[in-house]
Amino acid sequence: MSQRMTIKDISRMAGVNPSTVSRALRDHPDISDEVKESIKRIAKAFDYTPNKMASNLRSSSNPTIALIIPEINMFFFPSVINGVTDAAAKAGYHVMVLQSNEQQEREHENIQICIDNRVSGIVISLSRETEQLTHIERAISFGIPVVFFDKAPSNAAFDIIKIDDEKAAYNAVASLKEAGCRKIAGLFGHPGMSITMQRRIGYLRAVKDFGLEDAGIAHGFQMNDAYNAALGFAEKGIDGIFAMSDEVISGIVPALKSFGLAIPDDCRVVGISDGKLPFFFTDPIYFLHHDGCRAGELSVERLTMRMAQPGSPIKTHVHILDTPLMSNKR
Amino acid sequence: MSQRMTIKDISRMAGVNPSTVSRALRDHPDISDEVKESIKRIAKAFDYTPNKMASNLRSSSNPTIALIIPEINMFFFPSVINGVTDAAAKAGYHVMVLQSNEQQEREHENIQICIDNRVSGIVISLSRETEQLTHIERAISFGIPVVFFDKAPSNAAFDIIKIDDEKAAYNAVASLKEAGCRKIAGLFGHPGMSITMQRRIGYLRAVKDFGLEDAGIAHGFQMNDAYNAALGFAEKGIDGIFAMSDEVISGIVPALKSFGLAIPDDCRVVGISDGKLPFFFTDPIYFLHHDGCRAGELSVERLTMRMAQPGSPIKTHVHILDTPLMSNKR
DNA sequence: CTGTTAGCGCCTTCAC
DNA sequence: GTGAAGGCGCTAACAG
């Protein structure tokens, strides 16, 4: 049965008007129980399924939330997808996942796709390349609410769910200091990302405030870069290291161990993490927890709030997520 | 500008008929260049965006592929999402991600969502609970092609992209034998999954074929279960261990190390892996590579093939992915 | 209670 | 080359 039933088909069979069928199927109180039942029986018999494309057009609304991410990897974004799809499903929305592959142009295209499809809302983490926010503003001007997470504009003129990057890095270094570290290094992701900059600022400020010896900082967004950089720092005799992300942690730990350093006795490791990776290691690792699932849930929550008030007179809100210091102790 | 431009609006401004506008915007050859340009200018000036909901209804086609997964975690599924969204984007489709949370009922609901929305195709990995495939058959009978990956029906009456689970497990054990292991154990995921069963069969057959001493098998789908089980096996003095998935590997490695075993000298580890996790460890780990990204790409490829032939007279095809033996050597 | 009418926005005949 | 008309499938407003 490739050709599907329509309300019209059913109306013909039931000998009633299409609108009666529509009402009956949606349990409209006006329709008599007999007619309702007879219509429902026919619908069931022929496995009728209302065409959402039609009803969406009719109501000019598409119960879809778009999730735009730079590029999915094993850390953080899977959790976000989890949080977003769950929260969206609960609120009656579907989720369309779009990847920008860290390219501004793809991000623009993806926003256009959202506009074309009249999605109800957009949850987005910006690509590395993104500088202008005209595409975002365009979506908003079209009445599509947008919530940022993780890689968000510094501008508070938007709805944002993020951590205090600078403070998190600062606190991470503080924990190294408290643990007695003297000479530390910082490993960061791609220098082009806003969060890299902010976390670096926090790191450097803390190093200065606490009078720690700085073995230097390094950038590199792949595990291997971090691995090599960590080896380099290990040679310099560090006793503490800050990792701005899981990717970086995943390079650091093997590097330190290959070098023969005991963690945390010879060198303490603290990072900002989604909270999964550290548990793969036996040596004590410390991390400030950036919960992707929660970020996703809150993003959807804020979105639904906006969607309830289409005029969007509500003022924008920047939600700062907690980043509790944790460890991988079993 | 909450209320959006329509073709009708533009037609009024341009003093032409809506159909002329439609044609002009789609570069129909019949329309004169002057009219075209004037219309396009207006469209641009007012930031006109064709309403996809309308054109989709008109063409009764929704360029969306639904990806239904049991539950997203850090392994495998992120790669699959990556492969699926990339391949889909290239083919001009969007991706809707639906989670069944390992519940049959949710899976049914998700299939219904697909039918309601007239998606172009479905890529699905079955939930643990799923037994009947009536919901799948229903989708197919509605003309929606379905491709399975990973957790697929044993029945070859469907399009499937998977590995040879039994053989992969068998080969994994073979590699232990070749490396000189004598007494081994097998750690598996949830016993309710089809792939668990098949991999277990392969494991047991290999143990027998190679005359290895079997320290036993254990099930447990969380890292901690695997951790504890591995500890138990370590006490029994194994020199080799098979892990059916990344989740299991992630528990085994820390356990063996905590126990003081050297990997691979005291105990060799071989698993079936997406190929990311092993690189977090410094000790040599071996794995049969199950490439999620490739699985996702191939699923979409097969789907597009089917979508090109709506009648679907093509016979179903089970694609067996290679699972090359690899290691985490740098 | 049910039928009639009309339209969501687009596009494809069919005319002229 | 352009206009007029109709319909994709559904539903809401208005009758009666």
**pLDDT confidence of residue A163:** 97
Write down how long chain A is: 330
Take residue A118 and report the two structure tokens written for it. 């009249």
How far is A181 from A199, CA to CA, in rounded Å?
Answer: 19
The helix or strand, by DSSP H or E, that contains position B236, with its residue range, turns out to be none
Q: Which residues contact A142 (CB under 8 A, 6 or more apart)?
A: A115, B1, B2, B4, B49
Q: Which DSSP state fits A27?
A: T
- At A312 the pLDDT is 61
Chain-chain contact of B49 with A95 (C-beta, under 8 angstroms): no
pLDDT number for residue A152: 94
- CA A121 vs CA A81, A103, A118: distances in Å: 15, 21, 9
Q: What is the pLDDT of residue B223?
A: 87
Query: How far from B267 is each of A86, A202, B210, B245, B282, CA to CA, in Å?
Result: 40, 43, 18, 18, 14
- In tens digits, what is the pLDDT along chain A, a chain of 330 residues? 446 899 999 999 999 999 999 999 999 988 888 889 999 999 999 999 999 999 999 999 999 999 999 999 999 999 999 999 999 999 999 999 999 999 999 999 999 999 999 999 999 999 999 889 999 999 999 999 999 999 999 888 899 999 999 999 999 999 999 999 999 999 999 998 999 999 999 999 999 999 999 999 999 878 889 999 999 999 999 999 999 999 999 999 999 999 999 999 999 999 999 999 999 998 999 999 999 999 999 999 999 999 987 666 678 999 999 999 999 986
> Cβ of B52 and A117 within 8 Å?
yes
Radius of gyration of chain A, Cα coordinates, nearest whole angstrom:
26
Q: How many whole angstroms separate alpha carbon B173 and alpha carbon B140?
A: 38
Q: Report if CB B4 to strand C is under 7 Å.
A: yes
Q: How many CB pairs under 8 A join A and B?
A: 146
Nucleotides of D under 7 A from a protein CB: 1-13
Helices assigned H by DSSP within A7-163 = 7-14, 18-25, 33-45, 52-58, 77-90, 104-116, 134-141
Torsion over CA: A60, A64, A70, A71 (sign): negative
Q: Do A78 and B74 touch (CB under 8 A)?
A: yes
Whether nucleic acid strand C comes within 7 Å of the CB of A10, the answer is: no
Is residue B239 scored above 50 in pLDDT? yes
What pLDDT is recorded for position B295?
98
Tell me the shortest Cα–Cα distance from B78 to chain A, in angstroms. Answer: 6
φ, ψ for residue A137 (rounded to 5)?
A: -60, -35
pLDDT average, residue stretch B176-183: 96
Give the one of B85, B224, B254 whose C-beta lies nearest to A99's C-beta: B85
Subunit contact A2:B89, Cβ cutoff 8 A: no
Q: What is the pLDDT of residue A293?
A: 97
Q: Is the predicted pLDDT of residue B1 greater than 70, yes or no? A: no
Residue A81 burial class via C-beta count within 10 angstroms: exposed 0-12, middle 13-18, buried 19 and up: buried
Q: Is the dihedral of CA A115, A121, A127, A133 positive or negative?
A: positive
In Å, what is the CA distance from A235 to each residue of A215, A228, B270?
A: 10, 11, 33
Which amino acid makes up residue A328? N
Q: Give me the mean pLDDT over the B126-136 stretch.
A: 93
Q: Which two tokens stand for residue B56?
A: 């989709």
Nucleotide nearest to A23 (CA to C1'): D11
CA–CA separation, B142 and A47 (whole Å): 10
- Confidence at residue B312, expressed as pLDDT on a 0 to 100 scale: 61
In whole angstroms, what is the distance from residue A128 CA to residue A126 CA?
7
Q: From the alpha carbon of A26, which nucleotide's C1' atom is closest? A: D11
Nearest-by-CA chain B residue for A115: B49
- The helix (run of H) or strand (run of E) holding residue B293 is helix B292-308
Burial environment of residue A126 by CB neighbours within 10 A (0 to 12, 13 to 18, 19 or more): buried
Q: Report CA(B162)–C1'(C11) in Å, whole number.
A: 41
Q: What percent of chain B has pLDDT over 70?
A: 98
- Contact residues on chain B for A57, CB-CB shorter than 8 A: 51, 53-54, 57
pLDDT above 90 for B169: yes
Please give the structure tokens belonging to residue A154.
């510094």
Q: Which two tokens stand for residue A271?
A: 């990072």
User: How does DSSP classify residue A122?
Assistant: E
pLDDT of residue B192: 87
Q: Which residues of B touch A143 (CB under 8 A)?
A: 1-2, 4
Strand C: list positions under 7 Å from protein Cβ.
1-13
- Closest nucleotide (C1' vs CA) to A60 is C8
State the best of B72, B96, B114 to mutate against chain A, taking most chain A CBs within 10 Å.
B72
Residues by CB within 7 Å of nucleic chain D, which ones? A 4, 6-8, 18-19, 21-22, 25-26, 50-51, 54-55, 57-59; B 15-20, 23, 30-32, 34-35, 54, 57-58, 60
Pairing outcome for strands A146-149 and A159-163: parallel
Q: How long is the CA B9 to C1' C1 vector, in angstroms?
A: 39
**Which band of pLDDT confidence, cut at 50, 70 and 90, is reported for residue B271?**
very high
Average pLDDT over residues B76-90: 97
